[in-house]
């Protein structure tokens, strides 16, 4: 990986703009992208998920270098090194030192940082000075629940998390089905209306909610459910947030991705899962480095490229064994395995 790493570093200094199409075949030598701070801004056009509806476009900030066969950027989701007990600043500094181009912190970490007297403006400057961008923030606001009071509190929490996100220079907040994981037969039309409310709130704050797939949930565990809610929401300020593990856990087929517009995704959670235990018994803790499991990663990555995705792959793991190892080793290994999977897919 040393040679690959040097090529990646050299390419970062040779940026040229590119406008990507919503869907195109994977070329034999794909037009790669190198992302430094090339993540979409809050005012980038978005659309619902359906590939045939709306006019989702890739953000203009995405960069490319024709000599580098890596069409995606690389991000560290801080869950990957949660068990090591680092501070938020230490996690961010480690991400930059290892070679990631973006970070994806959790709202609880930001809240803790602020509660301990940290300055969000200082943190935003530190992130920028390190050459990183904030791909998004992971939040758990109960925006989707049926209970009016709980949902109102959820929207207030979402507002706080969006304010955190914007203060750090980010423009995306994860919007999972928090609060309804045990709810069966939920009214998805109602969920779509509530997503529209969340999207309108985000629009006023310069932040886009990313409707997140949770494969273990009884609500929004399937790709089709996610696409329905995003499309019926009919608000332009919505993105999708998918995950290799959750696609498998929820039972969605990769072929279903071809019905989506990849430009409606700016972040994809990257990981792998073992062949055993069976899908029903898999948990987040079973996630492993890309390439160390049974996921059809080459097919997945090529499909994402074909449908127009040019965002960042955010490494999101919850592996307890990794948490017992030094954080620099885990972060570096995760980046190397992710890039190896990408290079293999497009070789």
273 three-state secondary structure = coil
From CA 210, how far away is CA 203, in angstroms rounded? 12
Give me the residue label for tokens 């809610």.
Answer: 229
**Hey, CA dihedral for 145, 149, 152, 153, is it positive or negative?**
negative
Contact 120, 137 (CB under 8 A): no
Mean pLDDT of the chain: 86
State the DSSP code for 257. G
Q: What confidence score (pLDDT) does residue 347 get? A: 87
Residue 63 above 80 pLDDT? no
* Residues 163, 120 contacting (CB under 8 angstroms): no
**Stretch 237-264: mean pLDDT, rounded?**
97
Residues 223 and 239: their CA atoms lie apart, in Å, by 13
CA distance 171 to 39: 9
Q: Which among 293, 284, 297, 292 is positioned nearest to 323, based on CA atoms? A: 284
Residue 262 predicted with pLDDT over 90: yes
Instruction: Give pLDDT tens digits for 100-118.
Output: 999 999 999 999 999 999 9
Phi and psi at 289, nearest 5°, equal: -60, 145
Q: Are strands 172-175 and 208-212 parallel, antiparallel or unpaired?
A: parallel
Mean pLDDT to the nearest integer, 46-55: 38
The single residue listed with the structure tokens 């985000």 is 202
pLDDT digits (tens, 9 = 90+) for 197-229: 999 999 999 999 999 999 999 999 999 999 999
- Residue 58 confidence (pLDDT) above 70: no
> Using 50, 70 and 90 to split pLDDT, how confident is the model at 27?
very low
Stronger pLDDT, 253 or 46, i.e. the higher one: 253
pLDDT of the residue at 57: 53
As a whole number, mean pLDDT of residues 82-97 equals 98
Q: Is the per-residue pLDDT at 26 higher than 90?
A: no
Residue 167: name the closest of 107, 235, 239, 237 by CA.
Answer: 107
**pLDDT for the residue numbered 246:** 98
- Residue 84 DSSP symbol: G
Residue 298 or 59, more confident: 298
What tokens does 250 get? 């929820």
Residues with Cβ within 8 Å of 144's Cβ and at least 6 positions away in sequence, in order, are 151, 154, 177, 178, 179, 180, 191, 194, 195, 219
**Average pLDDT estimate for 31-57:** 38
| Burial class of 218 by CB neighbour count within 10 A (0 to 12, 13 to 18, 19+) | middle
Instruction: Please give the domain boundaries of the chain with CATH numbers for all domains.
Output: 69-345 (3.20.20.150)
Contact 194, 150 (CB under 8 A): no
pLDDT at 73: 96
């Amino acid at each position: 990986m040393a040679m690959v790493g040097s090529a990646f570093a050299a390419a970062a200094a040779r940026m040229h703009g590119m406008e990507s199409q919503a869907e195109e075949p994977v070329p034999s030598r794909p037009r790669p992208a190198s992302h430094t701070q090339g993540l979409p801004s809050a005012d980038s056009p978005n659309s619902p998920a359906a590939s045939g509806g709306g006019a989702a476009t890739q953000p203009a900030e995405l960069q490319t270098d024709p000599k580098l066969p890596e069409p995606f950027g690389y991000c560290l989701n801080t869950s990957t090194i949660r068990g090591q007990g680092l501070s938020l600043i230490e996690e961010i500094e480690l991400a930059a030192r290892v070679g990631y181009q973006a970070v994806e912190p959790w709202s609880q970490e930001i809240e803790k940082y602020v509660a301990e007297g940290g300055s969000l403006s200082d943190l935003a400057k530190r992130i920028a000075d390190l050459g990183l961008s904030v791909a998004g923030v992971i939040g758990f606001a109960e925006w989707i629940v049926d209970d009016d009071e709980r949902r109102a509190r959820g929207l207030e929490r979402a507002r706080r998390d969006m304010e955190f996100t914007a203060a750090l220079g980010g423009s995306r907040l994860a919007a999972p089905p928090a609060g309804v994981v045990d709810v069966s037969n939920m009214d998805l039309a109602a969920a779509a209306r509530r997503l529209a409310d969340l999207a309108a709130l985000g629009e006023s704050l310069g932040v886009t909610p990313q409707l997140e797939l949770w494969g273990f949930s009884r609500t929004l565990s399937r790709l089709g459910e996610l696409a329905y809610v995003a499309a019926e929401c009919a608000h332009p300020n919505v993105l999708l947030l998918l995950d290799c593990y959750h696609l498998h856990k929820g039972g969605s087929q990769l072929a279903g991705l071809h019905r989506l517009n990849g430009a409606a995704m700016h972040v994809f959670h990257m990981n792998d899962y073992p062949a055993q235990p069976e899908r029903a018994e898999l948990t987040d803790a079973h996630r492993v480095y890309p390439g160390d499991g049974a996921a059809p990663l080459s097919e997945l990555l090529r499909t994402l490229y074909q449908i127009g995705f040019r965002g960042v792959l955010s490494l999101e793991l919850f592996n307890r064994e990794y948490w017992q190892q030094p954080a620099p080793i885990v972060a570096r290994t995760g980046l190397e395995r992710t890039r190896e999977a990408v290079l293999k897919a497009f070789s």
